[in-house]
Structure 1
Amino acid sequence: MTGISLALKPRQVFGNKNKLIRAQGLTPVHIFGHGLKSLALQADTLELESTINRAGSSHLVNIKLDTDKKTRKVFIREIQRNPIKGYLEHVDFYQINLKEKVTAEIPIHFSGESSLLKEKGHKLIAPFTHLTVEALPDDLPPEIHIDLSQFDTLEKDLYIKDIVLPGGAKILNEADLLVAKVSEVHLKVETTVAVNPAEESGEKPIAHIEEKESTEKE
């Protein structure tokens, strides 16, 4: 995977004093992993925000430390923000072993155009926004691409078993689950019937009879 890089530095401030480094435009972070001693570090907040936006939870991040000769390969594991103001409070990174498979939630990305979706009365049915994928870190795709142009008939259904990922990546969701299809939109047409107010209330209509006076001859 091509890289997203972030430079980190050792942190000497902990606990409640972390607000001091936040005031300087820095954010406290931790790196941990299997068999790895947790490292307390700090990052430039603006650079860290950019990294979060680019990497999400499915891209590898190359961490650069002054004390290391090699970069560390990590995923963003947890992001903590202030619940009121929304600023970054803390970020956890998980360092991985490039020779061990990892599992991640990979987003689905639709591209292309469907001739059916250009017509009125059709809509895309897509129950999933992410799929669970297992792969070696370098084989983990950042997105699962689905080309909409393949949906040219209403009979075209795409299931998980139909998706082939590059490398040794494997989707762990059930193979027979529907991923996408184009469906008809059934419009509900309501018919309005005019009702006589008297009939609606259950009252019998009153017949208006014009009576003619009769004159008798004496």
Structure 2
Amino acid sequence: MSESNIQAEPRTEFGKGAARRIRRADKVPAVLYGHGTDPVHITLPGHDTMLALKHGGANALLTLTVDGKEQLALPKQIQRDPIKGFLEHLDLILVRKGEKVTVEIPVHLNGEPGPDALVVTEHSTITVEAEATHIPEYVEVSIEGAEVGTQIFVRDLEMPSGSTILADEDTLIVNITHAPTAEELEAELEEAEAEAGIEREEAEEPVAEGEAAAGEGEAAAEGGTAEEE
């Protein structure tokens, strides 16, 4: 995993107004805690912190320099603006080199399955225990050429030395099933609609061009007779 060095500043102002002023200055309010210490309120540079989280993910290891002292920390909770996506607040937990931590890491699929196969990811993340300074960014699962009926369980995953998966070895991670045809999807949709009591409107039969022309002629003839009368 990557490690990012960030210069942090102690924070003495609190409340919504202070938080807004911090964000307007392209900074992020944060709190640092752990190992029985009192929470420390800090301010982080917005751009550098955003890049660190983008590169290292939710488990990015941060080296924070606060008042000239370096401390290692991991993101515990990340709050983002729901619309614009910028960082609103971070909860950071102190860690030490060699210390074991429990984190969630994503499952990455690699390759393409065999023909007529549908890949179903039963678990997109897994819980692992790893050294704080050696957290895997993800666990890779190969599905190259996987045929229908293939199943990949926790016991099939390969983890780097020092990392342990905290899940039952029989937990299903990826299931390769038969890809449904258009006809099968339509049948499932009709069945679901029937169970929900939804009735489809019958489509009107298209009018043949000859019949349409004849109908227009009759209408014109009737209109002419009416005018003559």
TM-score (ref. length: structure 1): 0.74
* Deviation at residue 107 of structure 1 after TM alignment: 0.3
**Over aligned residues, Cα RMSD in angstroms?**
2.4
In the alignment, the residues of structure 2 paired with residue 87 and residue 21 of structure 1 have an alpha-carbon distance, to the nearest angstrom, of: 13
Deviation track 1:113-163 (CA, whole Å, cap 9, x = no partner) reads 33x0xx2x22112111100101221332110111222x4433432110111
Which residue of structure 2 lines up, in the alignment, with residue 56 of structure 1?
57
Which residue of structure 2 lines up, in the alignment, with residue 102 of structure 1?
101
* CA distance 1:46–1:73, change in 2 (3 Å): same
In the alignment, the residues of structure 1 paired with residue 87 and residue 44 of structure 2 have an alpha-carbon distance, to the nearest angstrom, of: 11
Which residue of structure 2 lines up, in the alignment, with residue 142 of structure 1?
137
1:1-218 correspondence to structure 2 within 5 Å: 1-15=1-15, 16-68=17-69, 71-82=70-81, 87-114=86-113, 116=114, 119=115, 121-149=116-144, 151-187=145-181, 188=183
Deviation track 1:163-215 (CA, whole Å, cap 9, x = no partner) reads 12111211112211111132212434579xxxxxxxxxxxxxxxxxxxxxxxx
Q: Mean Cα displacement is larger for which, 82-91 or 27-36? A: 82-91
* CA distance 1:56–1:9, change in 2 (3 Å): same
The secondary structure found in structure 1 opposite 2:43 is strand
Contact 1:56–1:76 (8 Å) recurs in 2: no
Q: Mean Cα displacement is larger for which, 157-166 or 72-81? A: 72-81
The secondary structure found in structure 2 opposite 1:78 is strand
The secondary structure found in structure 2 opposite 1:175 is coil
In the alignment, the residues of structure 1 paired with residue 168 and residue 119 of structure 2 have an alpha-carbon distance, to the nearest angstrom, of: 21
2:137 corresponds to which letter in structure 1?
A: P
* Higher relative helix content: 2
Residue-pair matches, total: 184
The secondary structure found in structure 1 opposite 2:58 is coil
* CA distance 1:26–1:138, change in 2 (3 Å): closer
Structure of greater Rg:
1
* Deviation at residue 87 of structure 1 after TM alignment: 4.2
In the alignment, the residues of structure 2 paired with residue 37 and residue 127 of structure 1 have an alpha-carbon distance, to the nearest angstrom, of: 40
Q: Deviation above 4 Å: which 4+ runs of structure 1? A: 82-87
Q: Mean Cα displacement is larger for which, 167-176 or 11-20? A: 11-20
* Deviation at residue 31 of structure 1 after TM alignment: 0.9
Contact 1:139–1:167 (8 Å) recurs in 2: no
* CA distance 1:58–1:86, change in 2 (3 Å): closer
Which residue of structure 2 lines up, in the alignment, with residue 196 of structure 1?
none
* CA distance 1:179–1:85, change in 2 (3 Å): closer
Identity in percent: 26
Contact 2:4–2:52 (8 Å) recurs in 1: yes
The secondary structure found in structure 1 opposite 2:59 is coil
* CA distance 1:23–1:174, change in 2 (3 Å): same
* CA distance 1:167–1:50, change in 2 (3 Å): same
Deviation track 1:63-121 (CA, whole Å, cap 9, x = no partner) reads 233421xx32211111234556654332111111333311101001112333x0xx2x2
Contact 1:62–1:73 (8 Å) recurs in 2: yes
Structure 2, gaps ≥5 residues long: 188-229
Contact 2:131–2:162 (8 Å) recurs in 1: yes
* Deviation at residue 37 of structure 1 after TM alignment: 2.6
Contact 2:29–2:44 (8 Å) recurs in 1: yes
